[in-house]
Amino acid sequence: MEWRDEAVLLAVRKHGESAAIIEVFTPGRGRHAGVVRGGAGRRLVPVLQPGAQLDVTWRARIEDHIGAFSVEPVRSRLGVLMSDRLGLSGLDAVVTLLAYALPERMPYPDLYLRTLQLLDLIAATPAWPLAYLKWELALLEATGFGLDLTRCAVTGACEGLAYVSPRTGRVVSAQGAGDLAPRLLPLPPCLMGQGDAPNDEIALAMSTTGYFLERHLVPQHPAQPFPPARARLAALLARPQLRSA
């Protein structure tokens, strides 16, 4: 068995004396693992950094085997972010969420393209957190848990939307919420795609997307903690000194 594809590196861990096991996200093969011989060596360690874009070739005798990767660097993103604490946190949240959320070997070509676009934004401009929030919505949609933010689940109205139901993931208007409002999740304007937003508003919106990510993903991974990188990113976005102008 052999195939070749482009990929984003999600995770790497040492394997034996000099090899490494990597997890990548590819448009055609989804999340896929394999051994890189020499992956812990001096030549490949700088290449095998989370968030890097790679050209990978995977080979195995049988499709179900873990197989081996040969890799060629296409684009490194970690180096340009070394002095950017928020950018590093964003990159870490993206790759760890993908490694946690995606089933093995199932392609998500649209999500892959959105991920590339987001990682490029993180490496290029500080105005990326809103794109990150939209990416989380896309991740929920791709994994089967998309939110319905179109009209109130109670009244059917498209105006005055103020909350999200934690049970159904549908929006609720202030009028429709009534006495149940304290039990509902916040719906900041940025979650509806209503223009730019300061980072603290994005952090508030992440409390809503995060509720659904944890609700739907944690039961599928009972032996794994939910990626702490996401909580670190939300905390940084909520800090006054890191809020957007």
Total domains in the fold of the chain: 2
Same structural domain, 69 and 86? no
Q: Judge contact between 210 and 203, C-beta under 8 A.
A: no
Same structural domain, 134 and 208? yes
- pLDDT tens digits, 135-163: 999 999 999 999 999 999 999 999 999 99
Same structural domain, 2 and 109? no
- pLDDT tens digits, 105-133: 999 999 999 999 999 999 998 999 999 99
- pLDDT tens digits, 52-104: 999 999 999 988 889 999 999 999 988 788 889 999 999 999 999 999 999 99
pTM equals 0.93
- Secondary structure tally for the chain: helices H, strands E: 6, 8
Same structural domain, 135 and 210? yes
Same structural domain, 121 and 26? no
- The domain spanning residue 191 has which CATH number? 1.20.1440
Indicate the pairing of strand 53-59 with strand 68-75: antiparallel
Q: Decide if 225 is inside a domain.
A: yes
Same structural domain, 145 and 208? yes
In terms of residue numbers, what domain contains 132?
82-149+187-245
Whole-angstrom Cα distance, residue 85 to residue 92?
A: 11
Q: Which of 25, 49, 76 is the last residue of a domain?
A: 76
- Looking at the DSSP assignment, which residues form a beta bridge with residue 23? 11, 33
Give the residue among 137, 149, 127, 108 at the shortest CA–CA distance from 196: 127
Whole-angstrom Cα distance, residue 139 to residue 133?
A: 10
Q: Decide if 170 is inside a domain.
A: no
Same structural domain, 32 and 90? no
**What pLDDT does residue 163 have?**
97
Same structural domain, 47 and 117? no
Cβ neighbours around 87 below 10 Å, total? 22
Q: Which of 30, 49, 76 is the last residue of a domain?
A: 76
Q: Decide if 5 is inside a domain.
A: yes
Same structural domain, 141 and 192? yes
Q: Judge contact between 208 and 234, C-beta under 8 A.
A: no
Q: Decide if 25 is inside a domain.
A: yes
- pLDDT tens digits, 165-206: 999 999 999 999 999 999 999 999 999 988 889 999 999 999
**What pLDDT does residue 243 have?**
42
Average pLDDT over residues 9-29: 96
- The domain spanning residue 2 has which CATH number? 2.40.50.140
Same structural domain, 37 and 95? no
- The chain-wide mean pLDDT, for the chain, equals 94
Cβ neighbours around 166 below 10 Å, total? 13
Q: Which of 76, 98, 113 is the last residue of a domain?
A: 76
How far from the centroid of its chain's Cα atoms is residue 42's Cα? 29
Same structural domain, 34 and 104? no
**What pLDDT does residue 241 have?**
59
What does residue 21 show for φ and ψ, rounded to 5 degrees? -105, 125
DSSP letter for 170, please.
B
